[in-house]
Amino acid sequence: MKTISKRLTLERSKVKQASYDLPSAIKLVKSTTSAKFDESIEAHISLFIDPKYADQQLRTTVVLPNGTGKSLRIGVLCGSDKVAEAEKAGAEVAGNEDLVEDIGKGILNFDLLVATPDMMPKLAKLGRVLGPKGLMPSPKAGTVSTNLTATIDEFKKGKLEYRADKTGIVHISFGKASFAEDKLIENLEVFYDSIQKNKPTGVKGKYIRKFTICSTMGPGVVIDEETL
């Protein structure tokens, strides 16, 4: 049996209600961040969807107005004529054949990979390397682009991709414990609006099953959706 630490037991004791309105939930989650590092603040939304059906899948992007608080390393696969543009825009890694070769060797010095459309055929053979890590560029994820400067800038400022897993749950990090409460609330409201606007066409009736937020090392706090 897994032993629960005294720290987590104490933090769990702070959650006294079945659900909370958004401001109260954010305040409570921030109060449970007792780890010795700046914990991420996460959202986990369980949906009434079955992703095995094409019309019930959810995968899209959202730009969080206050960013995620994480430093994102961006790699760009492009023609040699665009390498300088990508590097000037803030890409940590940019290249073409040399980058393909590094990826094939398992050298992944990036958290996100952007590619120009003409480079996609070169990535086909690297699906088994990039796919399991969620790094394969995709038009739906906004990571296949001809405008590298704008794309890199968006992701650096807080654009992120999210998708429902096979159990119908969406997981994202929408800030850090060090963020002010109003910044976390604003980010979460934008994310919630995106979830609603991108409701799969095959979903009828109630859409959201459970909306929970937590810190990296803290207990879950359920948000009363009716208060949003």
In this predicted structure, what is the pLDDT of residue 217? 92
- How many domains is the chain built from? 2
Final residue of a structural domain among 115, 137, 156: 156
Position 213 in a domain: yes
What is the DSSP track for 164-198? B-TTSEEEEEEEETTS-HHHHHHHHHHHHHHHHHT
Same structural domain, 123 and 146 = yes
Counting residues of the chain whose pLDDT is more than 70, the rounded percentage is 99
Residue closest to 172 by CA, chosen among 152, 192, 144, 156? 192
Same structural domain, 165 and 63 = yes
pLDDT band at 1 (very low <50, low <70, confident <90, very high): low
Final residue of a structural domain among 126, 156, 186: 156
Q: Give the model confidence (pLDDT) of 142-158 as tens digits.
A: 999 999 999 999 999 88
> Strand pairing of 40-47 and 208-215?
antiparallel
Q: Give the model confidence (pLDDT) of 33-53 as tens digits.
A: 988 899 999 999 999 999 999
Range of the domain at 122: 74-156
pTM summary value:
0.84
Q: How many residues does the chain have?
A: 228
Residue closest to 148 by CA, chosen among 171, 116, 123, 170? 116
Position 141 in a domain: yes
Same structural domain, 150 and 91 = yes
